[in-house]
Each structure stands twice: as C-alpha cells, then as structure tokens.
Amino acid sequence: MTAHQTPAPGAGMDHFFLARGIAVIGASAEPTKIGGRPVHLLQRHGYAGQIYPINPKGGEIQGLPAYARLADTPEAPELALIAVPAAQALQAVQDCAARGVRAVVVLSSGFAEAGEEGAAWQAEMRDVALRHGMRLLGPNCLGTVSVAERAIASFSVALEDYYPQPGAIGIVSQSGNIGSYTLQLLVQRGVGISRMVTTGNEAEVDLADGIAALARDPATRVILCCMETCRDGERLTQALAIAREHQTPVLVLKIGATEQGQAAAASHTGALAASDAVVDAVLRRHGALRVRSHEDLVEIGQAVAQLLPHSLPRKPAVTLVAASGGFGIMMADAMSQAGLELPPLAAATRERIHKVLPGASTNNPVDASAQISSRPDILFEVLSALQEDPGEATTVLFLSLGLYSTRLRGIYLEALAQLRAAYPQRPLVIISRGPADAVVQIQALGIPVFSSIDAAARGLEALGRLASLLDAEQAPVASTSSTAARLPEDTFRTEYAAKQALIAAGFEVPRELAVQDADAAVQAAESLGYPVVLKILSEDIPHKTEAGGVALNLGDAQAVRAACARILASVARHAPEARLEGLLVAPMLRGGTELIAGISRDPVFGPVVMVGMGGIYAEVLRDVAVQPAPVSETQALAMIRSLRLFPLLDGARGQAPADVAAAARAVARLSEFACRHRDQVAEIDLNPILVRPQGEGIAILDALMVPVRPARTPDHESSHAA
C-alpha cells in the first residue's frame, strides 16, 4: 500500500483483531470513564498482550504503569485507542503515526457530526493515516472486539458484566450502539461471536472494510451488518464480492431509507428509482440478504450460523408439526403468507406416522396430538419419517411452552439429539419461547429455534432466499466505463433528438417525422399513414401531456390541422416562455402492452436501470424493478418477470403473450447505453414502450434524455421538476 492510496477493502484490519500490544491514549484510573473502561475491560477479560495506558500525569493507572507520552512506551504498540477531547485527537493520531502504530481507534466524538471545525479535524486525521499506511477507525465509534483473542478496542457497556463465547457470527455496524446491542442479544441467546467492528464516522475505515475483513476471517461464518448509509458504492460491492467468494453469508439491516435526489428528478424514472430500492438491488445482486428488522437480523443470522454449511433450505416448502390442530392452522397461515408451500406428505410417510400415532392427522400440517411427546422414541420416529419424506420440505416443530416442563424437556432433547445425529444434512426448525438454557441446548445441536410462529415464517422464507443467492452464479456484466463517442449536444433538447440517438444505438423506434407547421404535419401524416399522433417539440417542456402538447388518434388532415392549432394554443398558455422547435408526427400504434423503462443516477452507485408496467401502473402502483447498470439480458428478463403485473405480459385471461424477450433486450441495451455515456447522460425515460405480441418486437413511443449538469440551484430545480 503506497502513501495516500486508499487501502483495498479489508486490508490491514488484522491489526485491530490480532494486536500484540494496545495503547490507550487518554487512559483514566476510573473504570467507568471512556478512557478507563478499555483498560479495565482488557484486564478483566484476560487480554494476553501488553497494555499501555497513556496519560500526561504518568504514574500508575488501574495497576499498570502509565506513560506520559506514547513515545515513552518500551515498544510501539500495534493498536492505539484514542479517548481524548476532539481538539486533542488530531495530535494523538499524529503521535501514533510517528511511533509506528499500525491501527488506531478514535473513540472520541465531536468531529464531522459536530460541525465544520470537527469535520476539518476528521479530514486531517484521515490524511495522516493514509500518508503513513495506518488504518484509522472512527472517530465517534465504539471500536472493535476480537472475542477469541480478547483484544477489546472498545468501551462498550455490553462487556462490563459478561463476555461473549467465541463463535461463528461477526458483527459490522456503523452505529456503535446497534452493534453493541446486537452483541448483547446474541450473548443472551448463548450464541458465539467472532468479532465486532463499529465504524462510526468512517473517516478512513468503512463498512466495506469490516465486511471484507470478516469474510476472510476463518473464525467467521456469518456476518451481521447494520448499515445506515453507503458512502462508496464500489467499495461496498467489492466487499460483498469478497464475501461471496469466501461463501460467507452477509445479512444486512439497512435503516434510514432516503429520498435524496428524487425532488429534482426530471424523469419518471428518477422519481421511481428511489435510492433505498437501489441498495436493495445491489445487495441482492451481490448475494447479501436484506432483513427488515433487528429481531430478524439476530434470529435469522443465528439460524444461518447453525445450519451452515450444508442444510440451508433449498426449497420454499415446509412440513409443519404440532401437538394441536389450532397451532398447526396458525403455522399454516403464517407460512403461506410468507410465500412458503405446504406440500402433501408421501403415502409411505403417512403410513409410518400412523404406525406410532394411529390417531394423528397426517395432512400438512401434521396434528400429532399430545402423544408425540409421550416418549422420545415416538417423537424420533415421527420426525424421522418427515426427514425422509421425498418432498424435501423443511420440518418445523412447534413446541409451545413444553420446554418448561422438566419431563417433556428431557424427551425433546433426547429425541432431537438422536435425530440430528441421524440426519445431519436435513434442515429442522423449532418454534419455542424457552426457557433460555433449553433453547441453548437445542441450538447447540445445530437446530435453529425461532421465538414465534411469525418469526419462523419470516426466517424460513429468508433462509430460502439466502440459499438461492449463494447458489446463483453472478452474471457477467459489461464495463461501466465511458467508452463510446460523445453524443451530439442537441440529443437532450427534444424527444425527436433523443430518439435519433437511440436509433443510432440500435433501439427499436418507429419512423417519425419532425415538422414546423400544420401543412408539413399533414404531409408527414399522409406519408406515415393515418391515424397519427402529434406532439410538441421543446426542450423546455419535458412532460408534454401536462402542457396539452399531445394529440392522439388523428385520422385525417382536418384532425391534424385542428390538433396543431389546439396544441400550440395550449402550450402558449402553459409555458409562454418555452422555446418551440416544431411538432413531431408519429404513427398511432395499437395492439400491445405498455412498459416504462429508464435510467437514473444514484448518488452512490451511479447509473441505475428501472423497468415497470406503463401507464398508470408505474406511478400509482409503483410496480417497478430496479438494478444497478449494466444488466445482462438474463438479468433484465428477471426484472420484468418480478413485476407484480407480469401476467399481463404473459398472456393473462386469454391474451396473446407479449414479446418479453425483445423487451429484455431493450432494457439490457439501455443499461449498457447509460454506462457508455455516463459522463453525459443523467437520466433516460422511455415511457411508454409498446411490447407487441410474441415475435413482433417492441416500439419506443416516447423518450426523454436529461444531461449531466452542474448542481442546480433550488429555483432551477423547482421549475425543472414542475
């Protein structure tokens, strides 16, 4: 790594986890203070390396010799924690760089989150770290915890009363409190943890560093990520690619959905492709599973750790077992609503269950009655029959509050231990609220325990999605660099000019003619053939319909002349200052289904492609799919098929199927076009695209291109968006 170069995601992060010596700058003799707590925690939990308290007064701190300056330590610590006021932190970082410290955690607050002066200090700390090849975490963070090594670079209160067991789950969080809370919940569940990284203001080390480092960490099998924002899309995707390469699942709780950039959107695409949807698409494309609540993050993450590497559910199907018909129905409702199937059991499976439980109902769900828990061998035989059922559904056993009974608890644990030994590769899930020590015993067998029926339904659906994400091959994508010849400047002036650029790039656009007056419009209409469409051409009127600038289904010369007069009068009232360039005459096409497709620029991830059902469906129902550009034809087809109203394209109610393959080609080509011209094109709106019957292709009926331009003033934004 050369000076001033931003390190690759995850580079140098071992200095936080495996530090041979740790200095605490701003160390305090009081264990409850931020500067005293790391010293206390390191000693209490048995860190084996050297601890160097740094305090101008020197002397002794918490039984350890203290040093007035970092330069006075007998050797350079590998890691330093900074817990001094913000105004002194920059000097402390400079001292660390001069001493040869390899990694720094700035626990102090009062930087970019506090104002301009703090932001300047933060920027300078970053520069110092980059110049010296020193990783810098924070500021305003809760630091790191490396559990097995007991290397605690944190003041988290979560470590005051208990210490995690080493395990397979790693935590990466921008919020220190959320990361610490996640750690606490896992500890309470008896789940082992490998490492925790909290990134705070991310002056230098960011979320991508944490993900990449834990993905490469042999002790970490699952990463739980709490993300508030993404500052660098390329680094995040690089880190997720590293996790995918190492087959380390990443579960992401993304909070703080944002609407940045939408207020100034000139196209429908810009308004519909919200940045939160883009994050969602990026995570899916790169194999990360997004969850919607912190409870799901913990419960599903724990289940993944217990089921890996071989028994993640590969089919969205469940077999439900309960000692009560009512609970079975509740389970069936929740699982069905989550999109999981309840396949019928094979005849042989039903016969096996009836041999040990003659009165059981062997539909799915299985109502096994209270007899299922009378003896371990009965429970084992019923569950064995379900594990061997050819349907390969995941078995879900509802235990209600049975684990609180000492007798029943013994029966369950004995049968489940035998079952896991006999069928280690088949997924089995328990629903039970406790007690906690019994739940821990079941989880130790590699059997996930969900706390409620609804949590299990969400969890099983998510586990199936994760298995699909991990199994899927990532489709190759084209380069995102701008390599094509520059578009003519007038491309962005009118619909006609935009369509000429699209025609040159191979898009399917009907023959249309630009004219200057009514006489020319009539001649053009007769050349194209009636009926026709008439539209105003003006770079100042991006949305023509709102200005009364469109007339449809004009069947003769008289209708064309009347429409010309009507359009010009309406535009004069709506936009009297608009510069007019004439009229566009186009054929009136029928017999297809409308789509909308377009490109917008996400402020973090760059060009984004969107496709949705056209007409009212796009904006009223927001039935759209979003992906970072470029996409392949296969990916574009998957986007179209994901639309809720896709059956309208697929021949619903006896209609002829639409040419979906041609639509997918157009969406893929559009995404590549946007990437080639990313330096010039900010937004593209193709609305509508007429998708004709299968084999007949598509027709782009309207097009808008918005150029990349300097940041707009608020007044300009308001008038343009209108």
Segment 89-121, tens digit of pLDDT: 999 999 999 999 999 999 999 999 999 999 999
The number of C-alpha atoms within 13 Å of 77 and in the hemisphere containing its C-beta is 29
Report for 71-80, 392-401, 700-709: range of highest mean pLDDT: 71-80
pLDDT in tens, 137-173: 999 999 999 999 999 999 999 999 889 999 999 999 9
Banded model confidence at residue 482, pLDDT cuts 50, 70, 90: low
Q: Beta strand 144-146 with 151-153: parallel, antiparallel or unpaired?
A: antiparallel
- pLDDT given for residue 277 in this prediction: 86
Lowest mean pLDDT among 28-37, 252-261, 343-352, 525-534: 252-261
Residues of the chain with CATH 3.40.50.720: 14-256
Q: pTM score, two decimals?
A: 0.89
Banded model confidence at residue 261, pLDDT cuts 50, 70, 90: very low
* pLDDT over threshold 60, residue 3: no
Helix runs in 102-196, H state only: 116-131, 176-188
100: left (phi over 0), alpha (psi -120 to 50) or beta: left
Q: Which of 585, 543, 582 is nearest to 560 (CA)?
A: 585
Residue whose entry in the numeric block shows the structure tokens 């609970």: 327
CA distance 149 to 502: 59
When the candidates are 3.40.309.10, 1.10.530.10, 3.40.50.410, 3.40.50.720, the CATH number that belongs to 14-256 is 3.40.50.720
Q: Which of 22, 6, 8 is nearest to 102 (CA)?
A: 22
- pLDDT given for residue 477 in this prediction: 44
Residues of the chain with CATH 3.30.470.20: 593-721
Banded model confidence at residue 470, pLDDT cuts 50, 70, 90: confident
130: DSSP letter: H
Q: What is the mean pLDDT of residues 396-412?
A: 92
Both tokens of 527, joined, read 């050349």
- pLDDT given for residue 483 in this prediction: 60
287: DSSP letter: T
Residues of the chain with CATH 3.40.50.261: 309-471
CA distance 26 to 104: 13
- pLDDT given for residue 97 in this prediction: 98
- pLDDT given for residue 31 in this prediction: 95
* pLDDT over threshold 60, residue 716: no
Banded model confidence at residue 263, pLDDT cuts 50, 70, 90: very low
Mapping DSSP to helix (H, G, I), strand (E, B) and coil, where does residue 593 land?
Answer: strand
pLDDT in tens, 528-584: 999 999 999 999 998 898 899 999 999 999 999 999 999 999 999 999 999 999 999
Burial of residue 34 (number of CB atoms within 10 Å: 0-12, 13-18, 19+): middle
pLDDT in tens, 45-88: 999 999 999 999 999 999 999 999 999 999 999 999 999 999 99
Are 598 and 610 a contacting pair, CB within 8 Å?
yes
**CATH topology assigned to domain 593-721:** D-amino Acid Aminotransferase; Chain A, domain 1 (3.30.470)
Q: Which amino acid, 121?
A: W
Q: What is the mean pLDDT of residues 349-359?
A: 93
Domain 309-471: give its CATH superfamily: Succinyl-CoA synthetase domains (3.40.50.261)
Percent of the chain's residues with pLDDT above 90:
79
Q: What is the mean pLDDT of residues 604-627?
A: 84
Q: What is the mean pLDDT of residues 701-715?
A: 75
Q: Beta strand 135-137 with 144-146: parallel, antiparallel or unpaired?
A: unpaired
- pLDDT given for residue 616 in this prediction: 62
Residue whose entry in the numeric block shows the structure tokens 């994901």: 642
Name the average pLDDT for the chain: 91
* pLDDT over threshold 60, residue 320: yes
Q: What is the mean pLDDT of residues 344-354?
A: 95
pLDDT in tens, 425-453: 889 999 998 898 999 999 999 999 999 99
Lowest mean pLDDT among 24-33, 134-143, 615-624: 615-624
Q: Which of 425, 197, 225, 171 is nearest to 308 (CA)?
A: 425
Banded model confidence at residue 260, pLDDT cuts 50, 70, 90: very low
Both tokens of 96, joined, read 């660390």
Q: Beta strand 193-198 with 166-173: parallel, antiparallel or unpaired?
A: parallel
- pLDDT given for residue 5 in this prediction: 83
Percent of the chain's residues with pLDDT above 70:
92
CA distance 510 to 504: 13
Q: What is the mean pLDDT of residues 245-254?
A: 95
Q: Quote the distance between the C-alpha of residue 552 and its chain's center.
A: 42
Q: Name the residue with higher pLDDT: 310 or 21.
A: 21
Dump the DSSP string for 614-633: -THIIIII--EEEEESP--H
- pLDDT given for residue 434 in this prediction: 82
Structural domain 511-587, CATH architecture: 2-Layer Sandwich (3.30)
Helix runs in 201-324, H state only: 207-216, 233-245, 268-272, 275-285, 294-307
- pLDDT given for residue 79 in this prediction: 98
Both tokens of 11, joined, read 């580079």
Burial of residue 54 (number of CB atoms within 10 Å: 0-12, 13-18, 19+): buried
- What are residue 594's DSSP bridge partners? 690
- pLDDT given for residue 309 in this prediction: 64
